[in-house]
């Protein structure tokens, strides 16, 4: 913190050039692959509390549901972390790439635990 009584001089400066703010990263967009995940009723209850996913849930009469969204493939790692927490309460219907990455992540966990 600077003390005002210690300033010897004050002068105006030229404001910095205003740069255009960067475009926000779009995580969802119709041009991205469609993600479809079937959820058990327990999976629905868990995802209802996940801020970015709750609004995308389609809940069925029996309590089960479907998570549908067009997600940027670079964000699959984040979604895989969420899905691993759901265990058998979630099943990836599409895309195949996400399903494969989820299987690989699950195998990596199994392999890691086998070494303990």
What is d(CA 102, CA 90) in angstroms, rounded to the nearest whole number? 11
What is d(CA 42, CA 49) in angstroms, rounded to the nearest whole number? 12
Q: What is the mean pLDDT of residues 77-81?
A: 97
Q: Is the pTM of this model over 0.95?
A: no
pLDDT at 11: 83
Domains delineated in the chain: 26-114 (3.30.70)
Q: What is the pLDDT of residues 32-60, one digit of tens each?
A: 999 999 999 999 999 999 999 999 999 99
What is d(CA 67, CA 56) in angstroms, rounded to the nearest whole number? 6
Which residues make Cβ contacts (< 8 Å) with residue 85, sequence separation at least 6? 46
> Could you tell me what percent of the chain has a pLDDT over 70?
92
Which strand (E) or helix (H) includes residue 39? strand 34-39
pLDDT band at 25 (very low <50, low <70, confident <90, very high): confident
Q: Between residues 81 and 20, which one has the greater pLDDT?
A: 81
Which strand (E) or helix (H) includes residue 21? none
What is d(CA 33, CA 96) in angstroms, rounded to the nearest whole number? 10
What is d(CA 24, CA 73) in angstroms, rounded to the nearest whole number? 16
């Amino acid at each position: 913190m600077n003390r005002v009584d210690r300033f010897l001089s004050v002068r105006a400066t030229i404001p910095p050039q205003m740069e255009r703010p960067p475009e926000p990263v779009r995580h969802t967009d119709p041009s991205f692959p469609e993600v479809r995940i079937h959820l058990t009723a327990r999976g629905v209850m868990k995802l209802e509390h996940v801020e970015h996913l709750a609004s995308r849930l389609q809940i069925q009469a029996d309590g089960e549901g479907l998570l549908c969204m067009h997600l940027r493939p670079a964000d699959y790692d984040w979604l895989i972390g969420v899905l691993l927490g759901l265990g058998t309460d979630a099943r990836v219907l599409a895309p195949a790439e996400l399903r494969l990455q989820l299987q690989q992540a699950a195998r990596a966990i199994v392999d890691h635990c086998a070494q303990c």
